[in-house]
Chains A and B, each alone.
Chain A
Amino acid sequence: GQQVMQIPQYQHVQEGEDFTTYCNSSTTLSNIQWYKQRPGGHPVFLIQLVKSGEVKKQKRLTFQFGEAKKNSSLHITATQTTDVGTYFCAGYSGQAGTALIFGKGTTLSVSS
């Protein structure tokens, strides 16, 4: 079945440093979604990418979808302590309405 892999599993940065997490799928994705989970909380949707090569920005966050639609990345510029949490990518291949499969997530810690 489809697998979604994320690296790294953990990342610690100093406040102000940049951070990137990578997501790779074993199959071509129709779209990819990113979620953030704060410690003790539930996952919250950040963004969805649909088009090959798509790049979207949300303030200091930059999301990319690969040309082959099998990989994606999330880059945070100048991290802040509010960025702490676990970032998940998720995707499904095939038709809409099928199961959304999550990567294992990247847990980001930030020290000030």
Chain B
Amino acid sequence: NAGVTQTPKFQVLKTGQSMTLQCAQDMNHEYMSWYRQDPGMGLRLIHYSVGAGITDQGEVPNGYNVSRSTTEDFPLRLLSAAPSQTSVYFCASRQGPEKLFFGSGTQLSVL
């Protein structure tokens, strides 16, 4: 039982490049979400999904796209990376109102 798996762990992009952060969970959780963590800003919600085919915006959605075609996977897409998107990204999942399980994070640098 791997829990929540994020790839890659580290990534360096140039401004304007696109990429997808992968997130997969094997706990059959309906709810999945993406957060970004910046110094002094805590964890800010980017997008979330309450089930396959359903996504919604969080606090800081601009510049990011998501889709949820399966229960297991919830990828986060950066269409045109900007230096302001340099951050640590966490994917998390849960079942109902219970605790969140976090992945180990992706450290992204945009030059």
Contacts and interface: CB of A to CB of B under 8 A. Distances in A.
Do they bind each other? yes
Interface of A: 1, 6, 9, 30-31, 33, 35, 41-45, 48, 88, 90, 96-97, 99-105
Given A30-B97, A96-B97, A97-B96, A102 B48 contact: no
B50 A97 contact: yes
Interface of B: 30-31, 33, 35, 40-45, 48, 50, 56, 58-59, 90, 92, 94, 96-105
16 contacts: A42-B103, A45-B99, A45-B100, A88-B42, A88-B43, A96-B97, A99-B33, A99-B56, A99-B58, A100-B33, A100-B45, A102-B44, A103-B42, A104-B41, A104-B42, A105-B43
A90 B100 CA distance: 10
A35 B98 CA distance: 13
A-B complex: 7 closest residue pairs judged by Cβ atoms: A104-B42, A45-B99, A96-B97, A102-B43, A42-B102, A105-B42, A97-B50
Contacts, number: 58
Nearest to B41: A104
B90 A99 contact: no
A30 B59 CA distance: 19
B99 A48 contact: yes
Contacts of A45: 99-101
